[in-house]
Structure 1
Amino acid sequence: MLEVKNLTKKFNGHPVLQNINFTLKDGKILAIVGPSGAGKTTLLRIISGLETKDSGEILLDGQEYNLGKVGIVFQDFNLFPNLSVLDNITLAPELVLKESKQVAEKNAMELLTKLQMGGHEKQYPYQLSGGQKQRVAIARALAMKPKILCYDEPTSALDPNLRHEVEKMILDLKKSGLTQLVITHDFTFAKNISDQMLKIQPLGEA
């Protein structure tokens, strides 16, 4: 279970997030919705350890937040253009988790099959559509065995027709017991996928 208590963040003295509180139970999906400038991505970066908080607590299973337990799928996917799909997924497990090449590749192929990307492992990011890149980015995050998977605006870089496909993929991952946190400005999408929603609004300048 993820607990965020009284989370506050300022940039150059201006509050971006103030006293954010929520609880996300295991296996559930939380959608954080709000307009641009509300601090949604900043909140996601703090939860995933890419940004520091000014005050407040982030607890995972009652313990202080532990880096590596939260995976993130970036809005622009951040795939390595010079690496194949398979190498994009296996790089971190081999380097960070110290998995052998054989184990990392076996896990990667299982994830690609699960995400309907079997047969694409030798391709490079430039050969993939936006939806396919997103699936590779999800597989790469899942390969690190996170307790929680976070998405930053998962529908914004995709054709609107793919929204239903993304909804289905997130709900399919939920069936496997994965806890997910989704940042989005798309209220309908959020409503369709989430067990709970947190709405945040931009704060006025201090």
Structure 2
Amino acid sequence: MLELKNISKEYNKRVILDHVNMTVEDGEIMCIVGESGAGKTTLLRCISGLERIDGGQILIDGKEFDPYSNQNNDSVIGVVFQEYQLFPHLKVLENITLAPIMVLKKKEAEARQEAMQLLEGLSLADKAKLYPYQLSGGQKQRVAIARAMAMKPRILCYDEPTSALDPGLRDTVKNIILDLKKSGMTQIVVTHDMDFAKQIADSILKVKPSRG
């Protein structure tokens, strides 16, 4: 279980997050929704350790956890970025195996085997030797999901996973998220799309711009 207690964050003395509280049970899908500038992505960045919180606590299974200072954070909390952030000079398979080999110290053969299993599950096995520029937006999205999953995180976070996708691909992403839920993956989804949130979420957190 992930718990956020009174999380606060400021940028240049402007309050972005003002004592935010949130609980996500194991295996649940939590959607964070709100208008642009409300702090959705900032909250996700704090949860995933990309930003340091200014106040409050983050707990996993009741124990305080600092994602910002955790060196192996990718094995606890994974992130699928809005812009995918795939390495353009690496092929799909290399994009997925790089972190498991470098961070988790897996042998290359093992990392490649697990990566191919992920690609097969996402209907991308035939794209393993392609470069990101050779993929469609939806394919890049799925590769980004596979790359995050390769680190075997307990919690998987998504930043606006449907923002640049057409309705058909939106449904594909929805099905991937729901399939991961069946496997027990805890997921946090930042989205501006309330309809999408209602289709996938066990719970929804609405954030509003701070007056601070």
**How well do the aligned residues superpose, as a CA RMSD in angstroms?**
0.9
Report the secondary structure of 2:27's partner residue: coil
TM-superposed CA distance for 1:160, in Å, is 3.3
Q: Which amino acid aligns with 1:3?
A: E
Q: Which amino acid aligns with 1:184?
A: T
**Higher mean C-alpha displacement, 154-163 vs 6-15:** 154-163
Q: Percent identity?
A: 60
Q: After the TM superposition, which segments of 4 or more aligned residues of structure 1 sit over 2 Å from their partners?
A: none
Q: Which amino acid aligns with 1:56?
A: G
Partners in 1 of 2:2 and 2:124 — Cα distance? 30
- Aligned counterpart, 1:17: 17
Matches within 5 A, 1:101-116: 101-116=108-123
Alignment partner of 1:194 out of 190, 198, 201: 201
Matches within 5 A, 1:124-163: 124-163=131-170
Report the secondary structure of 1:136's partner residue: helix
Partners in 2 of 1:64 and 1:100 — Cα distance? 32
TM-superposed CA distance for 1:19, in Å, is 1.0
Matched, 1:26 2:11: no
Post-superposition Cα deviations, 1:48-102, rounded to whole Å, max 9, x if no partner, equal 0000101000011122225311000000000000000000000000000000000
Q: How many residues align?
A: 205
Q: Which runs of 5+ in 1 are unaligned?
A: none
Q: What's the TM-score once normalised by structure 1's chain length?
A: 0.97
TM-superposed CA distance for 1:118, in Å, is 1.3
Matches within 5 A, 1:71-90: 71-90=78-97
Partners in 2 of 1:193 and 1:203 — Cα distance? 27
Alignment partner of 2:174 out of 148, 167, 171: 167
Partners in 1 of 2:181 and 2:108 — Cα distance? 28
TM-superposed CA distance for 1:115, in Å, is 1.2
Q: Which runs of 5+ in 2 are unaligned?
A: none
Partners in 2 of 1:159 and 1:79 — Cα distance? 20
- Aligned counterpart, 1:3: 3
Partners in 2 of 1:23 and 1:112 — Cα distance? 31
Matches within 5 A, 1:38-77: 38-65=38-65, 66=67, 67=70, 68=73, 69-77=76-84
Report the secondary structure of 2:57's partner residue: strand
Partners in 1 of 2:104 and 2:164 — Cα distance? 30
Partners in 1 of 2:94 and 2:170 — Cα distance? 27
TM-superposed CA distance for 1:25, in Å, is 0.5
